Amino acid sequence: MNQADGQAPVAWDPEQKMQFLFALRSKGVTNPRVLSAMEEIDRGPFVRGVFARRAYEDMPLPIACGQTISQPSVVGLMTQAADISPRDKVLELGTGSGYQAAILSKLARRVYTVDRHRRLVAEARELFEAMDLHNITAITGDGSRGLPDQSPFDRIIVTAAAEDPPSPLLAQLAVGGIMIVPVGQSDAVQSLIKVTRTETGFDYDELLPVRFVPLLEGLGRD
């Protein structure tokens, strides 16, 4: 599945898996359900081409369309902060490689993931099908607008940085729901924010410094 540019597929052997999980724990990913999901979803198929050999390192890597697959520990920390229950309906904005959505699919009842690049959505769908992840709906669209037709969402995870938590996404969050979003005006200064919707408004908690591609309006040019 991870064969690209004539390279042999990379198999996730037990030692790699142990080292991978140890790296997650050392960075603060301790939730048993999140660790179990990240053990079950092999990162290898989501990294293609010349970077395939580095799939199990705790680092972001380039993917198609000028995007990146996030550092596994950051994926774990974002997922952990979202505190997803088995009954939750989750919206992810920024499908990218599909890795984050695959992790979410092991934790939530339903996952909707949106990306502005048709190529990325098509490739992610192929992986989801191959992995029998049938509770994910992948859509090409403008992630900055969310997915109002399917709202409200119990959890929203944004994998691109906005200057402020986008108001259309806040409006699509259920009362009691949580949104995890990188916020910052440049790729050098960003903070991961946890937004919790209450009966009377929104609570904001700053989690950790991060670096993500910007959240852009409209559809991408593949």
pLDDT tier, 187 (very low <50, low <70, confident <90, very high otherwise): low
Average pLDDT for 36-46: 95
| pLDDT attached to residue 5 | 42
> Within a domain: residue 114?
yes
Give me the number of domains the chain comprises: 1
> Within a domain: residue 132?
yes
pLDDT in tens, 125-150: 999 999 999 999 999 998 889 999 99
Output the six-digit token pair for 197. Answer: 């919707």
Answer for the pair 215, 161: CB distance below 8 angstroms, yes or no: yes
| pLDDT attached to residue 9 | 45
Is pLDDT larger for residue 60 or for residue 6?
A: 60
pLDDT tier, 4 (very low <50, low <70, confident <90, very high otherwise): very low
pLDDT in tens, 45-96: 999 888 888 999 999 999 988 888 999 999 999 999 999 999 999 999 999 9
Looking at the predicted structure, is the pLDDT value of residue 25 above 50?
yes
> Within a domain: residue 157?
yes
Q: Is 89 helix (H, G, I), strand (E, B) or coil?
A: strand
For 98, left (φ over 0), alpha (ψ -120 to 50), or beta? left
Average pLDDT for 25-33: 97
> Within a domain: residue 22?
yes
**Residues with catalytic roles:** 70
> Within a domain: residue 206?
yes
| pLDDT attached to residue 1 | 43
Range of the domain at 97: 14-210
Smallest CA-to-CA distance from 159 within 116, 220, 123, 129 is with 116
> Within a domain: residue 38?
yes
> Within a domain: residue 2?
no
Q: Is 55 helix (H, G, I), strand (E, B) or coil?
A: coil
Answer for the pair 173, 165: CB distance below 8 angstroms, yes or no: no
pLDDT tier, 219 (very low <50, low <70, confident <90, very high otherwise): low
Provide the 10 A C-beta neighbour count for residue 116: 25
**What's the rounded Cα separation, in Å, for the pair 75 and 79?**
6
pLDDT in tens, 93-111: 999 999 999 999 999 999 9
> Within a domain: residue 32?
yes
Looking at the predicted structure, is the pLDDT value of residue 2 above 80?
no
The structure's pTM equals 0.90
- At 118, which CATH number? 3.40.50.150
